[in-house]
């Protein structure tokens, strides 16, 4: 694994990891990453992100819940993924790749604020978290939100006043996956 101090290199080499080893992630390291990640910009400086770190019992409960997400995701992937990749993806939903930590990300609901601004601000902090974790030798994978299950995630943590946006599986890993090619035609000079 290669960890550079060059921000350009970090961005280009970070990958989504879907298989973690059983090495524990120290709480001090998680706190360092999160305390730095929240220095992201945010609309009107509301800093409306909320991060919940799951380990042990709560993590086990979330993994069971996350496995149920698969029935909502599978129909959209069946005709897009090779059967072998589909099976690997299903396994990830059932196990979160054995990640020793999952961070659940929420947005504080702000009355009268543009929805895109409130969630956009949270994802700026999420990107910081992904890059900082990688810099520290950790792998991450963003766990998408499934609308049909969002309320159950909120009930798990008693966060009904917050909106569940995503999870992040996090831990140490043994092998980096290859880089997916970048798609052309996404940058427009006008």
- pLDDT per position in the chain (190 positions), as tens? 556 789 999 999 999 999 999 999 999 999 999 999 999 999 999 999 999 999 999 999 999 999 999 999 999 999 999 999 999 999 999 999 999 999 999 999 888 889 899 999 999 999 999 999 999 999 999 999 999 999 999 999 999 889 999 999 999 998 888 888 899 999 999 9
Q: Which stretch of DSSP H or E encloses residue 149?
A: helix 147-157
pLDDT tens-digit series, residues 87-127: 999 999 999 999 999 999 999 988 888 989 999 999 999 99
CA 159 – CA 153 distance, rounded (Å): 8
Distance CA 124, CA 165 (A): 13
**What proportions of the chain, in percent to the nearest 5, are helix, strand and coil?**
50, 15, 35
| DSSP labels, 85-127 | HHHHHHHHHHHGGG-SEEEEEEEE--TTS-HHHHHHHHHHHHH
- Residues 69, 95 contacting (CB under 8 angstroms): no
**Residue 70, number of CB atoms within 10 A of its CB:** 16
Q: Which CATH superfamily is domain 7-171 in?
A: NADH Oxidase (3.40.109.10)
Q: Domain extents for the chain?
A: 7-171
């Amino acid at each position: 694994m290669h960890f550079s101090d060059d921000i350009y290199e970090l961005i280009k080499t970070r990958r989504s990891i879907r298989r973690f080893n059983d090495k524990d992630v120290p709480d001090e390291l998680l706190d360092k990453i999160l305390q730095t990640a929240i220095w992201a910009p945010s609309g009107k400086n509301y800093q409306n992100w909320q991060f919940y770190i799951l380990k042990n019992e709560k993590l086990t409960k979330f993994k069971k819940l996350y496995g149920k997400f698969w029935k909502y995701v599978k129909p959209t992937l069946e005709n897009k993924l090779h059967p072998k990749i589909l099976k690997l993806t299903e396994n990830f939903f059932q196990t979160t790749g054995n990640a020793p930590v999952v961070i659940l990300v929420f947005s504080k609901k702000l009355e009268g604020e543009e929805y895109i601004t409130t969630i956009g601000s949270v994802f700026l902090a999420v990107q910081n978290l992904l890059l900082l974790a990688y810099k520290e030798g950790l792998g991450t994978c963003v766990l998408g939100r499934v609308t049909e299950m969002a309320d159950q995630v909120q009930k798990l943590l008693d966060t009904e006043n917050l909106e569940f946006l995503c999870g992040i599986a996090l831990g140490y890993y043994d092998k980096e996956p290859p880089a997916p090619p970048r798609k052309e035609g996404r940058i427009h000079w006008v």
